[in-house]
Structure 1
Amino acid sequence: MEELLRLDGIEKSFPGVKALDRVNLRVEAGRVMALVGENGAGKSTLMKVLTGIYQRDAGTITYLGKERQFAGPRDSQQAGISIIHQELNLLPELSIAENIFLGREPSGFAGRIHWKAMYKQADALLARLGVSRSSRTRLGDLSIGEQQMVEIAKALSFESRVIIMDEPTDTLTDTETEALHGVIRELRDSGRGIVYISHRLKEIFEICDDVTVLRDGNFIGEAPVADMDEEALIEMMVGRRLEEQYPRVEVTPGRFSLEVTDLVGPRLDSVSMAVREGEILGVSGLMGAGRTELMKAVFGAHPIESGSVSMFGEPVRIRSPKDALEAGIAYISEDRKRDGLILGMSVQKNMTLAALKMFSTPTGHLRAAMECEAASGYVAAFNIRTPSLRQQVGNLSGGNQQKVAIAKGLMDRPRVLILDEPTRGVDVGAKKEIYQLINRFKSEGMSIILVSSEMPEILGMSDRIIVMHEGRVRGEFTAGEADQETLMACAIGRAQEEARA
């Protein structure tokens, strides 16, 4: 096999932390190399060193047989290395086509943009990915998953020799994921080299040929995927065996805490649901089913046109997130960067932002020591990898940012905690820690609403499950009644009785 890219002995340090310590990576033509490791293992840092966002402290980068030092992303991209970042880098006010070809639009007479050619090329890229949208569509009108497909289309438009995909399926539906995997196989068969970063281990075994494992900034090893199994791979990643992936605890449910009746709002059609104290209510459904819209309506971030919301049998009027927080409802958004965190603020300030009353004197002065102690407790409990509580959240890895967002929601101990895709972009070890924390609060009587696109997570953690389709609840099941086939049948619109048959 032709070796396209090799990184040897890469080292990179930041104040207070050595992010990479003699890390190696090899990419061959016509093969897909998985790059795996827990959050903070150094995967994203390594990719930033490769593409010139960071300059390495030591080690060598060899690309197409020559040692290289890229000055930045444009330099590496022009050389034939494209990266699809986990966090979207798109402009919502422009069209899909304009986002794909920004800065390199096809031009015609007198340098004018050849709009017809640009839309035609963009439509072809979307069709290749199985996306039915017109490339003239405003990007801001797309779901997060659809925007991710646009980011992938943008990378494909460069026809690069090496393509790096950083958690590319994190926001995609199963259908979109299958389409992407088809494109990856096509690229591999055409001689491209793919670096595939994912926490979804099932995908590693479905799509990858080889796997490189990092842990705590160190190179642990490389092996053919065919020689590995999931258990062995997890042990390499976390340095220990994980016993039970979904550690369910049995709790006798208490009173109904939150009850929603005949709720109508944006993309919601007469939705009813209820959750008890000490219960995890799973909310399942395909992308666009209305799961997030329902949670945002309950939290006051989307308007409620009609219907009612009650807490412990008493009607509550929720017109804003402030109302929801005062009623004892906390919401952790699926989009942590847009809705959950202030990236320029510190870890500590983000965690305590919504619970400052807990740390204030009657005269409004902040009890700094108490605030610091509470934040330190969550850093330890969640195993958040940060040099200090003063570190800006924007400098943390995606998974560590997610854990800070969850800690923020838990800080003032809400009565009802809504978790919208809480383990998206989080590694297997950190997932287990998050599940254990969820179970701890469940055992203490908190009501948990868990929205997830991962069927095993819904089945493994929920006590009851509702399934949504096109803004309506299509079925409700106990944990003992539910299985993947039944939930999927409801998710595509079949009635509950038909799904059970």
Structure 2
Amino acid sequence: MPEPILQMRSITKRFPGVLALSDVDLVVARGAIHAICGENGAGKSTLMKVLSGVYPHGSYEGEIVFDGRTVEFSNIRHSEAAGIVIIHQELALIPELSIAENIFLGNENTRRGVIDWDATNHRAIELMARVGLSENPLTPVKHLGIGKQQLVEIAKALSKDVKLLILDEPTAALNDDDSAHLLDLLKGLQGKGITSIMISHKLNEIERVSDAITIIRDGRTIETLDVRAGDVDEDRIIRGMVGRDLDHRFPDHEPEIGDVLFELEDWRVSHPDDHSRVVIKDANLTVRSGEIVGIAGLMGAGRTELARSVFGRSYGSRHAGRLRLEGRELVLRSVHDAIRAGIAYVSEDRKGLGLNLLDDIKTSVTAAGLDRLRRGVAVDEREEVVVAESYRRSFNIKAPSVTVGVGKLSGGNQQKVVLSKWLYTEPRLLILDEPTRGIDVGAKFEIYGIIQALAKQGKGVLVISSELPELLGLCDRIYTLAEGVITHEFTREDASQEGLMRHMTADAR
């Protein structure tokens, strides 16, 4: 058997009051695609930060053997010099710089101390071709979609003679086509001798491309599965991740659906910059009290644009049509108007729009409902702690106190904080945009339970999701959206993945 390219032995990493990793072992075969799975907070990203020198030697216990020798990286530049490159979930690109500039940032092509721009651009074109990116190398990165930005990051890694490529949730924000392209690229790089480690919650993708899967739970290595040997499926992976079978991916739920709560009638929205371009075209939908309603559509169909336009016109221009809540027509000119009317919106971008990562839990939970804590001109800080603590306990937010910064929480716990923030406003209609994106199966189960409990309270819930099984398992009714047009309405009994996809791809003209 050939020598593995990587061995991590008895890795233990402590933070104040937290044992993040405990005697973790990881062995990666040379030339393999090796997946690491685990619930949010299990220690996956921490382990990769130890490997790449983000957490330097001396800040952890244990031994790392890479490419046949023991290594002690003191920073990320040392690990990159050895051939280890990590691509974090939050991409490290500078939007205003060109593709070529980003690829060689910190690794510039110079001649006599001056950047050689001809060499830089020609070399960038070569690297871009390797990852299937055909843009002009002078294009600013801010003009690229997230899928192409991922390819720029990989091209950047290839410029450093990478031997081991680490990708942390590489497809979390990608649509199906971009995800498939990225996974095919990993297989292509594997054919050229590059080893990859991939952290992902998308178990179907892991099952498709990986040769082996290491499962980490609560900071400990549980097992490593050999995918090539067979008998590895999603249920097997889940059992290792959560320590139990998830025979049902969704909590049991008996809906108690009442009268129409929310109505959208002939809703029409133009693009915020190009007023002649209609983004949402005469949409009609309803949500009843106690009902969970889904919106299914491909990327670019207008799902988020629809949700944000309803939420106080926070997207678009030239809004036309009617909104009604509990039979009363609403005129919403701002987000503040929407909150006061009883509408809440959980954004798909929890880190960019849902949270300020510099805030603590208590500040985040009460941010949208500060008027309820106001005593004269000041905020009742004692009551703020009481409110946040009640949500921390009831939603099982894994943190020792509400003074912990939300930036230190796992994705699943951050999403619970966002939900808490909006539920504190006591909405009648809750709009959830990709509520479980980037969240492990255990945390998903908890969030599904929270959503169902809200419906049980008589609230209306509108869910946007790219995962069709999620909509089918969670929703009482589902609307399909294509090119800004609602193309069909499904009941729970009539809905299927094939039927949804047929109407999601329908010609909406």
Instruction: Tell whether the structures are fold-level matches, with TM greater than 0.5.
Output: yes
1:328 to 342, 361, 367: 342
Instruction: Assess if the C-alpha contact under 8 Å between 2:324 and 2:330 holds in 1.
Output: yes
Quick check: 1:261 aligned with 2:271? Answer: no
Q: How does 1:28-427 map to 2 (within 5 A)?
A: 28-55=29-56, 56-107=59-110, 111-115=114-118, 118-123=120-125, 125-126=127-128, 128-130=130-132, 133-225=135-227, 226-247=230-251, 248-266=253-271, 268-272=279-283, 273-299=285-311, 300-312=313-325, 313-361=327-375, 363-427=376-440
1: CA distance, partners of 2:322 / 2:482 = 21
1: CA distance, partners of 2:210 / 2:324 = 48
2: CA distance, partners of 1:95 / 1:17 = 41
Q: Structure 1's 495 and 470: CA in aligned 2 closer, same or farther, altered over 3 A?
A: closer
2: CA distance, partners of 1:77 / 1:14 = 25
Tell me the CA shift for residue 325 of structure 1: 1.2
Tell me the CA shift for residue 288 of structure 1: 1.9
1: CA distance, partners of 2:331 / 2:446 = 35
How many corresponding residue pairs?
Answer: 494
Which deviations, in whole Å up to 9, do the C-alpha atoms of 1:51-97 show, x marking residues without a partner?
Answer: 11113321011111111111222221121111111122222222333
User: SS in structure 1 opposite 2:436?
Assistant: coil
Match of 2:275 in 1: none
Match of 1:453 in 2: 466
1: CA distance, partners of 2:35 / 2:178 = 20
Q: Structure 1's 489 and 392: CA in aligned 2 closer, same or farther, altered over 3 A?
A: same
Match of 2:27 in 1: 26
Match of 2:274 in 1: none
2: CA distance, partners of 1:459 / 1:125 = 41
User: SS in structure 1 opposite 2:5?
Assistant: strand
2: CA distance, partners of 1:263 / 1:441 = 29
Match of 1:13 in 2: 14
User: Which amino acid letter does the alignment assign opposite residue 353 of structure 1?
Assistant: A
User: SS in structure 2 opposite 1:91?
Assistant: coil
User: Which amino acid letter does the alignment assign opposite residue 19 of structure 1?
Assistant: A
- Which segments of 5 or more consecutive residues in structure 2 lack a partner in the other structure? 272-277
Instruction: Assess if the C-alpha contact under 8 Å between 1:32 and 1:207 holds in 2.
Output: yes
What is the TM-score of this pair, normalised by structure 2?
Answer: 0.90
User: Which amino acid letter does the alignment assign opposite residue 10 of structure 2?
Assistant: G
2: CA distance, partners of 1:49 / 1:213 = 17
Tell me the CA shift for residue 124 of structure 1: 5.2
Instruction: Assess if the C-alpha contact under 8 Å between 1:331 and 1:409 holds in 2.
Output: yes
| 311-320 vs 177-186, which moves further | 311-320
Q: Structure 1's 27 and 477: CA in aligned 2 closer, same or farther, altered over 3 A?
A: same
User: Which amino acid letter does the alignment assign opposite residue 346 of structure 2?
Assistant: I
Which deviations, in whole Å up to 9, do the C-alpha atoms of 1:423-446 show, x marking residues without a partner?
Answer: 111110000000010000011111
Instruction: Assess if the C-alpha contact under 8 Å between 2:478 and 2:491 holds in 1.
Output: yes
Instruction: Assess if the C-alpha contact under 8 Å between 1:260 and 1:307 holds in 2.
Output: no
Match of 1:3 in 2: 4
2: CA distance, partners of 1:114 / 1:62 = 38
User: SS in structure 2 opposite 1:3?
Assistant: coil
Instruction: Assess if the C-alpha contact under 8 Å between 1:283 and 1:468 holds in 2.
Output: yes
Tell me the CA shift for residue 120 of structure 1: 5.0
User: SS in structure 2 opposite 1:9?
Assistant: strand
2: CA distance, partners of 1:383 / 1:212 = 26
2: CA distance, partners of 1:213 / 1:26 = 12
Tell me the CA shift for residue 18 of structure 1: 0.8
Tell me the CA shift for residue 352 of structure 1: 1.1
Tell me the CA shift for residue 131 of structure 1: 5.0
What is the TM-score of this pair, normalised by structure 1?
Answer: 0.92
